[in-house]
Structure 1
Amino acid sequence: MKKRNISPTLSLIILSLILVFTSCKNEAKKTNNKEVAKTAYANDVIPFFDHWKLILGDGSNAGIINNFENKDYFYTTNDGTTNWVVFKSPNGGDTHGTSNNTRTELAQTKKWYPKTANDKLTATLKVMNVSATGDARVAASHSVVVGQIHSADKHENEPLKIFYKKFPGHTKGSVFWHYEINTAGDDNSGRWDYSTAVWGNDFSIVGTEANTSPEEPKEGIELGEAFSYEIEVKNGIMTLKFMSDGHETKTFTKNLIKSEYTTTADIPEQTKNLFVPIGQDGVEREEAYTGEGCFFKLGCYNQTNGKSPEVNKNWCSGAETHDGDIIKQYADGNYAEVWFKTGSISVSDNAVSNEGYFTKND
């Protein structure tokens, strides 16, 4: 067969076409990568924000926050494959209501009553940071609350708080949940929490010295490791489910309308060790949270603060706050940060407006 020669002009045209095609292909690839990395508003990532008002880490109420961001406390990011909603809160700053702790947290706009409830909250998240400082002997140090049920009425106590806690120097942290008694009578100073471990330890495991961490939990969750929770309250019973790849799924139930802590003899040993020595030795009303409007919370409620442990050895961490300067706190790790990937909320027909809670606390 006779070999055909390609003219220099034709070769140049072919080479040019190849270069143009390759360039277009690379440009399309760059564009696609850019689209993957592009972030959006929080309501584009998790479309459920009509049900919430957002409390920011400076104590302000941002209201219903569709198409909203605040680069200090609440925004979206991408981890290379997935968009996440970021909640961030320093150790020190202005707080919401009567709390000693800062929070960037959603609060449900409606409240429901445990006895007639059929309400549910789910979330998938990962904790990215807890405070670098804090007295290790204080149970709340180095922890953050990522989900709650809160009462809107009377004492405004909390039948549920879901914690993540990791000590400095540890790779793994603990996930645990709290039930706070709805204290009998008008004096709420005797209230206390009971803590239940999910993965790792419960709230009561603390260091022996201010800068000495306890033993690292063997079955804990690392920073940046995703886990999910489901909270359902139906006909007075709270059911909790916790899930994470590589960890045992855990389920718990708690009666919210009939107390198991109505006498001094009912106070559990954990409470006797943690709370009774500081005068928090109350008992619960027999009907627990019956008749009180309750609502969900979700986000980053930083449990580490700058108050002296001498005020309260369970809740006052003595951590670094740089006098409320968030730039300095964020620079040296004195903050909590939680990323949420998914979330859903189911609200029963019996739910009513929760505006009274915000009026009292904003």
Structure 2
Amino acid sequence: MKKIFIAIFIFSAFFSCKDNTAGTSKEIEQKGDTTKYPSDVIPFFDHWKLILGDGSNAGVANNFEDEDFFYTETEDSGNWIVFKAPNGGDTHGTSNNTRTELAQIKKWYPATADDKLSATLKVMNVSSTGDARVAASYSVVVGQIHSADGHENEPLKIFYKKFPGHTKGSVFWHYEINTAGDDNSVRWDFSTAVWGHDFSVVGPDESTYPEEPEDGIALGEEFSYEIEVKGGIMNLKFTSEEHETKSFTKNLTKSEYSITTEIPKQTQDLFVPVGQDGVERKNAYAGEGCFFKLGAYNQTNGKSPIVNKNWCSGAETHGGDIEKQYADGNYAEVWFKDASITISDAAISNKAYFTKND
């Protein structure tokens, strides 16, 4: 099978309204060799559309930057792309959360897929406020597989989460069931720890935090993930210089959760009490087009925990004022150094997803 492979290079020479073209009014004019666009750091943007932290679609983000959400930073270790998203503001599609995130232009089907995404990154900030009892507080999603069809659920979300006052945070990944039936409000995630805790470890009250993980990842500490989907199987690999390499496998075309008795205890404790007690289609995500995402999908928001104690953080948003949120740490910020994507010939256009959600 012929594949497209986009390798990553670090170059030494030096990127609100809805808009589907890269290069909006926020595009920065390149001046000599003093400006470096994110597409110079990781030159694979032909294969993505960029969603910004104000809910807009910047399109294919070659030679583009945005001073609030998407730009470059240079350190002794090299050049980085910065993805930044506040706790509150306009969101994309039906999500409650802001994101600055790349979404793949093509979609592929798990059963026939031979597709891969790899990235090296470091998380620089997670929200300074939130309710410690809410599992999503103080977290950001840095990579995903998303369905473009059906309920548009997510067979993979890779999280980083760190509680205030802790030096180390946790990396964990989620599988969200592809809910059987029409009522997708009963969907739930199952969380698996990579380094540190999983999603279910929360504080006993609003401002008391659980014990800091001994094997966690600090802000500013590099780690890498590799996502491969081939023949219906998702293979995950996580690496970091000072940590044990971790690998996981999940079948995306055959469900483990198609009957009520198969709902795991973690879900019974975390999701069932808030009415998220569904079961999954027997063939899981088979027959649905899926696509990769990469960036900073902020999981902390200002909604009241009364609405949902797992996803509504009650964090500070300053009424959506980005400048104020950035000033007191109420945002997510993720830096990427390397990334690559392999796209199979079987992949097809994902245009309908963007038409529906933009």
Alignment partner of 1:114 out of 107, 110, 121: 110
Structure 1 residue 272, shift from structure 2 partner: 0.2
Provide the TM-score with structure 2 as the length reference. Answer: 0.91
Which segment is superposed worse, 167-176 or 78-87?
A: 78-87
Q: Does 1:85 align with 2:78?
A: no
Q: Does 1:302 align with 2:298?
A: yes
Partner of 1:130: 126
Distance (whole Å) between structure 2 residues aligned to residue 104 and residue 246 of structure 1? 28
Q: Does 1:95 align with 2:88?
A: no
Q: How many residues align?
A: 329
Aligned residue type for 2:118: T
Distance (whole Å) between structure 2 residues aligned to residue 39 and residue 240 of structure 1? 35
Please say if residues 13 and 36 of structure 2, whose CA atoms lie closer than 8 Å, have aligned partners that are also in contact.
Answer: no
* Counterparts of residues 89-238 of structure 1 (less than 5 Å): 89-238=85-234
Deviation >6 Å, runs of 4+:
none
Please say if residues 52 and 58 of structure 2, whose CA atoms lie closer than 8 Å, have aligned partners that are also in contact.
Answer: yes
Query: Which structure's CA Rg is the greater one?
Result: 1
Distance (whole Å) between structure 1 residues aligned to residue 284 and residue 224 of structure 2? 27
SS at match of 1:132: coil
1:182-210 CA deviation, whole Å, 9 max, x = no partner? 00011111100000000000000000110
Distance (whole Å) between structure 2 residues aligned to residue 187 and residue 139 of structure 1? 23
List gaps (5 residues or longer) in structure 2.
1-11, 15-32
Distance (whole Å) between structure 1 residues aligned to residue 55 and residue 328 of structure 2? 22
Partner of 1:5: none
Q: Does 1:318 align with 2:319?
A: no
Please say if residues 144 and 301 of structure 1, whose CA atoms lie closer than 8 Å, have aligned partners that are also in contact.
Answer: yes
Distance (whole Å) between structure 2 residues aligned to residue 266 and residue 83 of structure 1? 46
As a proportion of its length, which structure holds more helix?
1
Distance (whole Å) between structure 2 residues aligned to residue 130 and residue 308 of structure 1? 19
Distance (whole Å) between structure 1 residues aligned to residue 13 and residue 51 of structure 2? 31
1:49-85 CA deviation, whole Å, 9 max, x = no partner? 0000000000000000000000000001112331000
Partner of 1:275: 271
Distance (whole Å) between structure 2 residues aligned to residue 311 and residue 187 of structure 1? 18
Structure 1 residue 38, shift from structure 2 partner: 5.8
- Identical-residue share of aligned pairs (%): 78
- Cα root mean square deviation, aligned: 1.3
Partner of 2:3: none
Partner of 1:29: none
Provide the TM-score with structure 1 as the length reference. Answer: 0.90
Which segment is superposed worse, 72-81 or 56-65?
A: 72-81
List gaps (5 residues or longer) in structure 1.
1-32
Please say if residues 320 and 334 of structure 1, whose CA atoms lie closer than 8 Å, have aligned partners that are also in contact.
Answer: yes
Distance (whole Å) between structure 1 residues aligned to residue 311 and residue 13 of structure 2? 44
Please say if residues 41 and 67 of structure 1, whose CA atoms lie closer than 8 Å, have aligned partners that are also in contact.
Answer: yes
Aligned residue type for 1:328: K
SS at match of 1:312: coil
Partner of 2:235: 239
Alignment partner of 2:355 out of 335, 355, 359: 359
Closer, same or farther: CA 38–172 of 1 in aligned 2, 3 Å: farther
